[in-house]
Chain A
């Protein structure tokens, strides 16, 4: 199972910040993380959301739902940063 971490408003919406989830692709990981919560699913899918795979930012163009995820991978989703 991949480790999934959530940061910023996304973690607040989900009510958790770290979990181990089943999923062989990014799309399956997002579905498992959203758990049927449409608002959370929208945030995970949003263009401005940071998708970080094994501590490397994944550009929007490379983060299709088919992107393979291995059980030892760590996938993080973060709301946009900046401000303050």
Chain B
């Protein structure tokens, strides 16, 4: 399941709800991404994410479907925040449930690499040195290429 929200994320509550009533699950892997207060030499006060509701979820759902087809998992949840986000606050929460831990770890890693690179969020940093839009980095594409090489 994919959700985008402008509200703050409570990662602990999301994880607790995700784990509830799972009698056939042996592993839940979760990831919480936080906004950093520094980017290189720049100080960041606020990270602002623009989303395109209706389109952003559609792209994320396709990534989730890809993960479900690729790994032996039982369930996946991704909640992505958008709008202005203070430093140190959660920006994304991902959880994956599986019978065994390995596919849960791999699917969570896969989801994050693909959300980071392909999910349509436009990210802007504001701080004392002004405003900067975040552009795709080579490292993001390298992270994604990993999965192409490892296609089963």
Contacts and interface: CB of A to CB of B under 8 A. Distances in A.
Of the four ranges (under 10, 10 to 19, 20 to 34, 35 or more), the interface on chain B belongs to: 20 to 34
A38 to B, nearest CB: 20
A55 B58 CA distance: 8
Interface string B51-85: 01011001100000000000000000000000000
A84 B119 CA distance: 12
A55 B55 contact: yes
Contacts of A12: 133
Interface of A is mostly: mixed
Contacts, number: 59
Nearest to A81: B120
A76 interface: yes
A7 B119 CA distance: 13
A31 to B, nearest CB: 22
Interface of A: 5, 7-9, 11-12, 50, 52, 55-57, 76, 78-84
Ordered nearest first, which 3 A-B pairs have the shortest CB separation? A82-B136, A8-B122, A55-B55
